Amino acid sequence: MFLATKLIEQNARNFAPRLASCHCRKLSTDPHASPEIDNDEEFRVLNLRQVQAQARPKRVIKKDVAAPPRANKMPVDQDWGAVWPGPKTFHPASVPLPLRQGYTEKAAAPPSKYGNAELMKIPNFLHLTPPVIKKQCEALKQFCTPWPKEIPSEEQWNKHFPMEVITTDYCHGLPTIRNPLSRIVTIKFKLSTLKLDKHAHDKFLRLVGERYDPETDVLTIVTDRCPLRKQNYEYAQYLLTALYHESWVTEPWESLKSEADMETYHFIRNKSKVSAEEILNWGKTEGGKKLVAHEAFGKSVENLMNEGENEYNIQAYKTEALKLLGLPSLKSTSP
Amino acid sequence: MTSALFKLRLLPPFRPLLLPPAQQMSMYQPTYIDPIFKKEQQQVLTETGEASNLAHIPIKSARNNDTCSVFHDNTVSKFTNYIMRKGNKILARELLEKTFENVKRIQLERYNLAEGDEKNKIETNPKVILHRAIANSRPILQLTPIKRGGVKYQVPIPITENRSLFLAMNWLIQAAKEKERKVHFPEKLAWELLEAASGQGRVIKRKQDLHRQCEANKAYAHYRWS
Amino acid sequence: MITFIHSYLLLILFLWFQKVSTKIWAHILKFHNFVRSQIWCFGFKSYRKEPITMLVRCLRGVSRRACAQYSTVAEPIQKLDDFRTNEATVANHGLQHLGKYYRIEPEVKKQLFTYGGLPKSFEKQIKTFGETCLMVREPAVEVMHYIKSTDLSRPTVRYVLYGVDGAGKSLTMAHLLHFGLEQGFVLVHVPWVANWFKRPKETASSGSKEGFTDLPFDAASWLVHFKNQNASILPKLDLKVSKDYVWSIRETTPAGSTLLELIEHGIARVKFASDTVEALLHELKQHSTAGRCKTMVAIDGYNALFYPQTRILAENKVVVTPDKITLTKPFLDITKYDWTNGVCILSVDRIALNEERWESELPQYQLGKEGFEHVDPFVPIKVDNYNNKEFHSCINYYLNRRWIQNSAPGFDDELKYLSASNPFKLMNICAPL
């Protein structure tokens, strides 16, 4: 047994070169070579290597042919609202527009709308075309009331309704229809519409802090601490009332405020006024009528102190000081 | 193949690189020309039409101390560079400016004290004094050691213009540096400049000493070439 | 050659006395220009000092415009004196003299500025130029105008000079001091307050006031300065001390002795110098208010009096603030508005303070709130950089004084850009030229 296998092995080794040549011949396309092989039919060659199986034809996967884009068939006068009724991601086959979008190399046209992710990423407003909006407005009109004649202009409107209340309604796909954000109420109004005196105004501003925008004079109060919108609205109303009345209250300790605690420089409270008036009233007897420092001078000192020093403020101060001291300016007197 | 290219004059004929080492290391190729930064020279170029010839020649960028200021002077700029130590040009310039101021103050005081014709004789322009001082201190010969028969001879040789300028300026600076600790460099330099400009002082003496030595060693002069 | 010039001058003189008409003068001027150019060729190098042109102009006394009209080479004649004015009386300086230099006589300079008052760099220039010349500038003219139109029976007006470094605050003050001297003011001048607080010569704790520090030598040297500046006017006024000043058991200055005696005592007894300064300023204030004299206070670097830092250490090694120094109070008192017949000219300078207060040179920032309240209401006077006219006048002056010797065409423009028309910078930039 052992010997037999060995013999076979030896055979195989001896035949190997021949086999190789035989394959060569099979592969060659020479027409004279094939009859020779046919003639050798009686001598069957031991083929130890696996012969290549005949290649099977590949299975052709049948694909459904995509229908031509329906945009090609759309009539010009179709009802667009029916084609694109609501907000939806862009679809090239439904939009009969030759859109192109995206970046390409220089001097090449942007990619077309087919298979264009750029177009699908951006939000579109194809559902809000003017005729559709018009139609929707027409449908809503039956629920509207006419605009009151008493407030024809926006000024009037602002005058009679100075406060603006902002709330937001949400529409979304959840089991609940209540969005927690819809409880938030924002009220806005111009501070100038409130009647406040100097002290109250100052205190009001301190109380509201950064809710007040000095550039636009608008105060904004946002309330969101109650669970319901109505509660929040009422809380905002309450806050406003409380702020207003609190700002009119003057505490007894406020009179203790010294010069160092002042936020701004006030001419009347400072030594400047004393010295200016002493100079003005120099040499006057006790009984005589006292002069008061010029208001313009006080203003210039206040500007100098509050706005900070600059050439303009100093020149203004100089002019006023010259007036106060009764000195003629150089330019006006000389030729 | 390559020789054919040379023959066809497609490549310039091969030459070994003979540029000085500084130029070999330069960031500019040898084709680059020096910039012309003075307004008057530029004016001349445009008037003569030379500027259009230069239009397509690559030009090196101007250096930091090349300025079109009306006060710019090449000698002063050079002198500043010789004063400079460790690249501290700000200090060098300050020292030279202070020197000029001192020179001017000394000369102006003399000028104000002088009377009549004396006044016009006094030179008060510090730049002119600097130029004069350098011109007066320039040597025309120098000594170089040459070995002949195992003995080193100090042989007088002629000197290039640049070398003599360098020696003159350097001697002035060295003379100004030999001073008391409390005396400031600009003060001393001002004195040296004034003395050298009037043909006296240590720098002039040094030049004369060198010349005398050269004269004494006249006999060795032929060692230069034999 | 010289005889030719002589005969030529004689000819011109002769013509002048004959009062020839202007047309003939035009011809003469033309001829004169020709002659001048010839003389120039012969070797009169400096055209700025032409004897003939000077003579012609002095003799004729006609306006320079007329000269220019008929002269073919009018430029050098105009340049000749353009930057100078002969107006020696400071009080007459007006807008027409702006940008021109006037000369301070050496005696006046000696009296006013021997012990300070002019910046060191300017002193150097004086030595180099061989003359003391100040430019008439707008701030000084403005202040003089105010002083002239002030009713001196009203409270003292305070003028505060301010401006960028090197703009000429101290020289404006010097100009005003000259004015004060001419107008018969008693001068109370502090050349630089910061000297007391930054580098005092000696410090000692005060004998008269508890917790205060004296600067005896500085006070004494100020007394010397005061005495020197008012050497001419004090004997004339003959001011008397109003009360007894008891310095020690043996030393008193009795009421009725002159102010000079008080000063002499302060100088001789350095220990009491600080107190003497206080007494002196107090007396001066009273005399002025009573109308016996008028006083000009000029304090340079005034803002240093309000700056809460000095380099002086007390005995317990604590930094002394200016309000704890005996010299401060009298000078603060004399700059108040509670007296008459006086003028206060104060300058604020950021260099008087430390670097932390160098952000702005404007007066309120420099004085601080306390200082501002002390001098309010004051007249701020801005001392600015040179304007065009002043700049060219200065350049011409420097050319004339040979401070600028290398002048290629366009040099003045370059100097203007380099210095930004700042007087001090201009002077320094021109130094090596």
Backbone CA torsion sign across A24, A26, A29, A31? positive
Question: Residue C417 belongs to what domain range?
Answer: 388-430
Q: Rounded to an integer, what distance in angstroms lies between the CA atom of residue C166 and that of residue C427? A: 10
Question: B215-219 long-range contacts, Cβ below 8 Å, gap at least 24?
Answer: B215/B156, B217/B143, B217/B153, B217/B154, B217/B155, B217/B156, B218/B156
Query: Does the CB of A316 have a partner CB in chain C at under 8 Å?
Result: no
Mean pLDDT computed over every residue of chain C: 81
Q: Are the CB atoms for A101 and A118 separated by under 8 Å?
A: yes
Structure tokens at B121: 């004789």
Structure tokens at A153: 């202009």
Whether the upstream peptide bond of residue C377 has omega within 30° of 0, thus cis, is: yes
* CA-closest candidate to residue C112, choices C195, C181, C172, C159: C181
Shortest Cα distance from C135 to chain B (angstroms)? Answer: 21
Interface test with B, best of C402, C413, C416, C428 (most B CBs within 10 A): C402
Q: Rounded to an integer, what distance in angstroms lies between the CA atom of residue B194 and that of residue B105? A: 12
**Residue appearing with tokens 């307004």:** B39
* CA-closest candidate to residue A83, choices A95, A92, A73, A72: A95
Structure tokens at A243: 């702020």
Q: What is the ipTM score, two decimals?
A: 0.81
**Residue appearing with tokens 């100079």:** A279
* pLDDT tens track for A41-53: 678 877 788 767 7
Q: Is the pLDDT of residue A262 over 90?
A: no
Q: Rounded to an integer, what distance in angstroms lies between the CA atom of residue C99 and that of residue C84? A: 9
Q: Rounded to an integer, what distance in angstroms lies between the CA atom of residue C425 and that of residue C423? A: 6
Q: Is the pLDDT of residue A152 over 90?
A: no
Shortest Cα distance from A321 to chain C (angstroms)? Answer: 6
Concatenate the DSSP letters of all residues of B29-48 into one string: -TT-B-----HHHHHHHHHH
Backbone torsions φ then ψ of A95, nearest 5 degrees = -110, 110
Q: Between the CA atoms of B149, B155, B158 and B161, what dihedral angle is there, to the nearest 10 degrees?
A: 110
**Residue appearing with tokens 């050691």:** B145
Same domain, C373 and C258: yes
* CA-closest candidate to residue C71, choices C144, C104, C22, C139: C22
Contacts of A314 in chain C (CB under 8 A): 362-364, 380, 382
Structure tokens at C241: 């001390």
Q: Which residues contact B201 (CB under 8 A, 6 or more apart)?
A: B175, B192, B195
Query: Does the CB of C371 have a partner CB in chain A at under 8 Å?
Result: no
Query: Does the CB of B115 have a partner CB in chain C at under 8 Å?
Result: no
Identity of the amino acid at B76: V
Shortest Cα distance from C133 to chain A (angstroms)? Answer: 24
Q: Is the pLDDT of residue C75 over 70?
A: no
* Residue A331 burial class via C-beta count within 10 angstroms: exposed 0-12, middle 13-18, buried 19 and up: exposed
Q: Rounded to an integer, what distance in angstroms lies between the CA atom of residue B178 and that of residue B203? A: 12
- What is the predicted pLDDT for the residue at A296? 86
Q: Is the pLDDT of residue C65 over 60?
A: no
pLDDT-based confidence at residue A256 (cuts at 50, 70, 90): confident
Query: Does the CB of A282 have a partner CB in chain C at under 8 Å?
Result: yes
Q: Are the CB atoms for C374 and C332 separated by under 8 Å?
A: yes
Same domain, C6 and C138: no
- What is the predicted pLDDT for the residue at B105? 92
* Residue A245 burial class via C-beta count within 10 angstroms: exposed 0-12, middle 13-18, buried 19 and up: exposed
Query: Does the CB of A280 have a partner CB in chain C at under 8 Å?
Result: no
* Element at C188 (helix H, strand E): strand C186-190
* CA-closest candidate to residue C218, choices C260, C280, C273: C273
Q: Is the pLDDT of residue C46 over 60?
A: no
pLDDT-based confidence at residue C76 (cuts at 50, 70, 90): very low
Q: Rounded to an integer, what distance in angstroms lies between the CA atom of residue C339 and that of residue C157? A: 10
Distances, alpha carbon A179 to alpha carbons A168, A176, A229, C137, in Å: 10, 8, 11, 77
B111 contacts C408? CB cut-off 8 A: no
For A177-230, give the secondary structure using H, E and C: CCCHHHHCEEEEEEHHHCCCCHHHHHHHHHHHHHHEECCCCEEEEEECCCCCHH
b/e code C335-366 from CB counts within 10 Å (16+ = b): bbbebbbbbbbbbbbbebbeeeeeeebbbbbb
Distances, alpha carbon B19 to alpha carbons B15, B16, C46, in Å: 11, 9, 52
Q: Rounded to an integer, what distance in angstroms lies between the CA atom of residue B53 and that of residue A332? A: 62
- Chains touching C by CB (3 or more pairs below 8 Å): A, B
Segment among A303-312, C19-28, C44-53, C257-266 with least mean pLDDT: C44-53
* pLDDT tens track for C138-173: 999 999 999 998 888 888 999 999 999 999 999 999
Segment among B210-224, C51-65, C193-207 with least mean pLDDT: C51-65
A325 contacts C379? CB cut-off 8 A: yes
Q: Closest chain C residue to A305 measured between Cα atoms?
A: C364
- β A218-223/A212-213 pair status: antiparallel
Q: Rounded to an integer, what distance in angstroms lies between the CA atom of residue C328 and that of residue C194? A: 11
B120 contacts C405? CB cut-off 8 A: no
Distances, alpha carbon A94 to alpha carbons A75, A80, A126, A167, C9, in Å: 12, 10, 11, 36, 110
Q: Are the CB atoms for C51 and C35 separated by under 8 Å?
A: no
In B65-150, where do the E strands start and end? Answer: 141-148
Q: Which residues contact A247 (CB under 8 A, 6 or more apart)?
A: A196, A200, A201, A203, A204, A207
* pLDDT tens track for B77-117: 999 999 999 999 999 999 999 999 999 999 999 998 888 88
- Chains touching B by CB (3 or more pairs below 8 Å): C
Q: Rounded to an integer, what distance in angstroms lies between the CA atom of residue A196 and that of residue A244? A: 8
- What is the predicted pLDDT for the residue at B169? 93
DSSP assignment, residue C150?
-
Three-state DSSP class for C164?
coil
Same domain, C13 and C109: no
A328 contacts C149? CB cut-off 8 A: yes
Q: Are the CB atoms for C348 and C307 separated by under 8 Å?
A: no
**Residue appearing with tokens 């130094």:** C431
Same domain, C329 and C418: no
Distances, alpha carbon A333 to alpha carbons B32, C176, C277, C379, in Å: 67, 20, 39, 17
Domain final position from C348, C363, C382:
C382
- Number of structural domains in chain C: 3
Q: Rounded to an integer, what distance in angstroms lies between the CA atom of residue A46 and that of residue A12? A: 9
**Residue appearing with tokens 């004195």:** B191
Q: Rounded to an integer, what distance in angstroms lies between the CA atom of residue C412 and that of residue C402? A: 14
pLDDT-based confidence at residue A130 (cuts at 50, 70, 90): very high
Average pLDDT over residues A195-218: 92
Q: Are the CB atoms for B194 and B225 separated by under 8 Å?
A: no
Contacts of C157 in chain A (CB under 8 A): 325, 327
Q: Closest chain A residue to C143 measured between Cα atoms?
A: A330
Q: Are the CB atoms for C36 and C77 separated by under 8 Å?
A: no
Average pLDDT over residues C292-313: 90
Name which CATH class applies to A154-253.
alpha beta
Tallying the residues shown for chain B, one arrives at 226
Of C128, C405, C414, the CB nearest to B109: C128
**Residue appearing with tokens 């009273």:** C286
Q: Are the CB atoms for C188 and C334 separated by under 8 Å?
A: yes
Q: Are the CB atoms for C411 and B71 separated by under 8 Å?
A: yes
A321 contacts C379? CB cut-off 8 A: yes
Q: Is the pLDDT of residue C49 over 50?
A: no
- Chains touching A by CB (3 or more pairs below 8 Å): C
Same domain, C105 and C58: no
Distances, alpha carbon C36 to alpha carbons A99, A134, C66, C70, in Å: 89, 98, 19, 15
Query: Does the CB of A291 have a partner CB in chain C at under 8 Å?
Result: no
Could you tell me what percent of chain C has a pLDDT over 90? 30
Same domain, C75 and C184: no
Q: Rounded to an integer, what distance in angstroms lies between the CA atom of residue C29 and that of residue C394? A: 29
Average pLDDT over residues B214-224: 89
Could you tell me what percent of chain A has a pLDDT over 70? 84
Concatenate the DSSP letters of all residues of C396-432 into one string: HHHHHTTS-----TTHHHHHHHHHTT-HHHHHHHHTT
Q: Between the CA atoms of C383, C384, C388 and C389, what dihedral angle is there, to the nearest 10 degrees?
A: 0
Average pLDDT over residues C246-264: 87
Q: Rounded to an integer, what distance in angstroms lies between the CA atom of residue B14 and that of residue C267? A: 92
Interface test with B, best of C131, C399, C405, C429 (most B CBs within 10 A): C405
The ranges assigned to domains in chain A are: 2-42, 100-144, 154-253, 265-329
Q: Rounded to an integer, what distance in angstroms lies between the CA atom of residue A60 and that of residue B40? A: 87
- What is the predicted pLDDT for the residue at A28? 44
Question: B80-85 long-range contacts, Cβ below 8 Å, gap at least 24?
Answer: B82/B166, B82/B169, B82/B170, B82/B173, B83/B173
Same domain, C373 and C393: no
Q: Are the CB atoms for B203 and B192 separated by under 8 Å?
A: yes
Query: Does the CB of C146 have a partner CB in chain A at under 8 Å?
Result: yes
Q: Rounded to an integer, what distance in angstroms lies between the CA atom of residue A309 and that of residue C365? A: 7
